[in-house]
Chains A and B, each alone.
Chain A
Amino acid sequence: MKHYEYEINLFVDGELEKEKQSELFEHLANCNDCQSLFTDTLILKEKTRLFCVENLNQIKNKPKPVNKFYKIAFYASSAAAVLLLFLLITAKPKETFITKNEVRVDTVFVEKAVNNEIKNVSTLGKKLKTINSNQFSLVNEMKEMKSAKITFSDLIKYDVGS
């Protein structure tokens, strides 16, 4: 039996063509291996995303010697630098908060797609509901990750211009 590792990977990224999605779901309904692969891939996505968030927060938080010295000074003579200086002063980027609870585009997408499939295909739906209760420990795992309290260090504020 042909497995759908590759298609699962594309699907969770929202990159699998519509026509191929029903084929994937039909297979998923009948293949335990691909069901767990699907679950694992979603968990992997969420965990790697959280890693990226934490990784960036760590880099931002790393204590630095107080040295507010801007390289811009070296460019003081070029026209580009003057323009850039102007930008830094006037166009302060909006404050950016990175939190663990950001809306997850992919997760929302996948949830929607799964729900749609369940609605659309009734026989398949029954099978998928079984997957839902047995296989999708994912949902709980994700809920756990999402409800983790945001600590102060999760909430990093930075400001390019200051």
Chain B
Amino acid sequence: MKEEKTVKELFSSYSDDILNYSMSLLKDSDDAKDAVQEVFIRFINSQSSFRGDCSYKTWLLVITRNYCYKKLNGKTNQPVLIDENFPHTYEPKLEEKITLNDALKKLKHEEFELIYLREYACHSYQEIAEILGISVDNVKVKLFRVREQLRKYLK
């Protein structure tokens, strides 16, 4: 029963975070609600393998991410890629002005995810690194590069 209470606490504390993260990736509220359930089922079933290397919240978000990417691509672990061609692909032509929001919509899942985790979910670099499974230095560089691209569309 003790275990049950923990899960219950985790659910009331973090189901919103899981829902929002799923929604930011899956872009669908029903799919995101499903994700919350799936994540907790996975969590409950694998709870014994949690070694406490990171916080429960981070772990739940790692499960969330794996679930969502599997749903999106049929792959469990998606490397975080920043498209080298981004500036060329989306370089605004003089006649058509691309707004920041347009540029944000054109970001890849992996790029938008970084923005979401930092700006919306307010995770620290350390937490982002744990969720994405990359190093903190990597987070610094990737976030810097995404912002560098986006800054062009500010004006």
- A contact set with B: CB distance below 8 Å: 5-6, 9-10, 13-15, 40-41, 43-45, 47-49, 51-53, 55-56, 59-60, 62, 64, 67, 70-72, 75, 78, 80-81, 83-84, 86-88, 90-94, 96, 105-106, 158, 160
Contacts and interface: CB of A to CB of B under 8 A. Distances in A.
B28 interface: yes
Contacts of A71: 34, 37-38
A45 B44 CA distance: 36
B119 A59 contact: no
A93 B15 contact: yes
B104 interface: yes
Contacts, number: 108
A13 B23 contact: no
Contacts of A64: 29-30
Contacts of A91: 8, 11-12
Contact of B151 (A40, A62, A83, A93): A40
User: What secondary structure prevails in chain A residues at the interface with B?
Assistant: helix
B7 interface: yes
A93 B16 contact: yes
B29 A83 contact: no
Closest 3 CB pairs of A and B: A52-B120, A49-B119, A80-B44
28 contacts: A5-B144, A9-B143, A9-B144, A13-B125, A15-B125, A47-B154, A48-B119, A51-B104, A52-B24, A55-B24, A56-B23, A56-B24, A56-B120, A62-B28, A62-B29, A71-B37, A75-B41, A81-B41, A83-B7, A84-B37, A84-B40, A87-B7, A88-B37, A90-B8, A92-B12, A93-B11, A94-B12, A160-B15
Given A13-B143, A48-B104, A60-B29, 11 more contacts: A44-B151, A51-B104, A70-B37, A75-B41, A87-B7, A88-B37, A91-B8, A92-B12, A93-B16, A96-B16, A158-B29
A44 B150 contact: yes
A83 B104 CA distance: 39
B83 to A, nearest CB: 17
A69 B12 CA distance: 22
Contact of B8 (A13, A80, A87, A160): A87
A105 B44 CA distance: 32
Contacts of A6: 140, 144
Contacts of A41: 147, 151
B41 to A, nearest CB: 5
Interface in B1-59: 4, 7-8, 11-12, 15-16, 19-20, 23-24, 27-30, 32-34, 36-38, 40-41, 44-45
B44 A15 contact: no
A86 B11 CA distance: 11
Contact of A60 (B23, B44, B101): B23
A37 to B, nearest CB: 8
Contacts of B36: 160
Contacts of B100: 44, 47-48, 51
